[in-house]
Amino acid sequence: MEGIRRAARAYYDHLPDGERKNATKDFNDMDKNRDGKISLLEYVDYLKKKKATSFVQQSIFRALDKDDNGTLDFEEAIVLFYLMKSGRAIICKGCEKFLAGAYFSCSQCFFNVSVSTYEICCACYRGNNFTHHGDAIFCDNYTLLRQSRSAIQAAPRLTRVIHWFVHYLLLYICLNLIVFGALRFFLFLFLFDSGYFYFYFFCNFSCHFFVLRFSFLYMIFLIQSVMKLNQRSI
């Protein structure tokens, strides 16, 4: 929890003056009796009005209460504001405690946007104190962070591959329709109407052969380019 406190303090120190005033205003709105401290009741009422029900957990309140006096002062409330901004209020699905440090998360659920994430603390993971789908693969939060970075790096690479493929396809269509289409048209005009049927078909076949050969060479160039892009991205 001390790591989160330090991060929250650093986050607050770098806030613009307007954001700091908003934090003070939020603290005063939470402090209904104006005693300079936030009780558990004031804490819950404020979060319900903000519709931040995921934070209405006594385990979070206890974690925020550094001196364990049952109330939150402004320094302790700063951590709450930081958690609300960063979305770090994660509760263990096994023991329902606030996860302040390292924890484990189901990687399948983490990367599947259609389902909710599933996090458990280290103690619950070690003691098998959880119920989840049988093929779940759990990773710690730092490993998931690295995997997320790898997924983000892979996305532009795929975009570049698609870009090259579309570029090849459009070039092939333009070359086939415009250049060789015009050439076949003139061949038809000057040869077919003049009675040179066999020579026309020979020239037409040669055009198709040249297009296919060009397409094959361009595909090799495309594959080599994509391989170079992948090597640069690694």
Nearest-5° Cα angle at 54, 99 to 65 = 55
Distance from CA of residue 211 to its chain's centroid? 42
Token couple for 62: 């206890």
Per-residue confidence band for 75, with pLDDT thresholds at 50, 70 and 90: very high
- Closest listed residue to residue 151, CA positions, set 186, 111, 119: 111
CA distance 199 to 75: 90
Q: What band does 28 get if pLDDT is binned at 50, 70 and 90?
A: very high
Question: Taking residues 15-39, what's their average pLDDT?
Answer: 91
Indicate whether 89 pLDDT > 70: yes
The pLDDT value recorded for residue 98 is: 84
Q: What are phi and psi of 119, to 5 degrees?
A: -120, 145
- State pLDDT tens for residues 158-215: 566 666 667 666 776 676 666 666 666 666 666 555 555 555 566 666 666 666 666 6
Please give the backbone phi and psi of residue 155, each rounded to the nearest 5 degrees, phi first. -65, -50
What residues does each domain of the chain span?
A: 2-143, 149-233
The superfamily CATH assigns to domain 2-143 is EF-hand (1.10.238.10)
pLDDT tens per residue, range 38-71:
999 999 998 888 888 778 888 888 889 988 899 9
136: which DSSP letter? -
Provide the pLDDT for residue 234.
Answer: 47
Q: What is the pTM of this model?
A: 0.56
